[in-house]
Amino acid sequence: MDQNSSFSAGTADNASEDRDALAGVTVIVCASCRNEAGSDAHPRAGELLAEDTRRAAAADNIRVRTVECLGNCKRRLSAAILRDGCWSYVFGDLTLTSGPDLITGAKLFATSTDGLIPWRGRPDSLKRGLVARIPPLDMLKDQP
């Protein structure tokens, strides 16, 4: 900021670019995931993780969505992080309070230049909990 408390053009441009990059990332949380005891009680553990993730994303332009099932039930609480034209990531073994970790991962993903979530800086839960990394469809080439 300059002396009169307004942002300089360069700072504003960088902030705008960061917001635009964050807008390209979506966190998907499995809302049907149960807790460790397998309880059917509502709200389900997945719904609570989704709320924690939304709270963590409140100050950022990161979309948080839910789906009914990611099909990763053996790894309990699950979520995915997606970015157009980039690899997609699926994580499991998350906790009710993994929302900030998912948002940290989303921010790292948004600013990566190679379309991958960098290992360095990735929260431990996203290192240990990695289930799959899925290539973008345009990367796949038809085989004869």
47-67 confidence digits (pLDDT tens): 999 999 999 999 888 999 999
From 23-32, 54-63, 120-129, 134-143, the region with the lowest mean pLDDT: 134-143
Q: DSSP 3-state assignment of 93?
A: coil
| Alpha carbon separation from 111 to 8, 127, 136 (Å, rounded) | 22, 18, 17
- pLDDT (average), residues 26-46: 91
Q: Domain 23-136: give its CATH superfamily.
A: Glutaredoxin (3.40.30.10)
pTM of the model: 0.82
Question: What's the pLDDT score for residue 137?
Answer: 83
Q: Are 81 and 111 in contact (CB under 8 A)?
A: no
Q: What residue ranges do the domains of the chain occupy?
A: 23-136
DSSP 32: T
Give me the helices (H) in 75-135, please: 99-111, 124-128
**Quick one: pLDDT band at residue 38, thresholds 50, 70, 90?**
confident
**pLDDT exceeds cutoff 80 at 141:** no
Q: What letter would DSSP give residue 136?
A: -
Residues in the chain: 144
In whole angstroms, give the CA distance from residue 110 to residue 135.
Answer: 16
Q: How far apart (Å, rounded) are the C-alpha atoms in residues 19 and 21?
A: 5
Instruction: Please tell me the predicted confidence (pLDDT) of residue 1.
Output: 33
Assess whether pLDDT exceeds 60 at residue 16: no
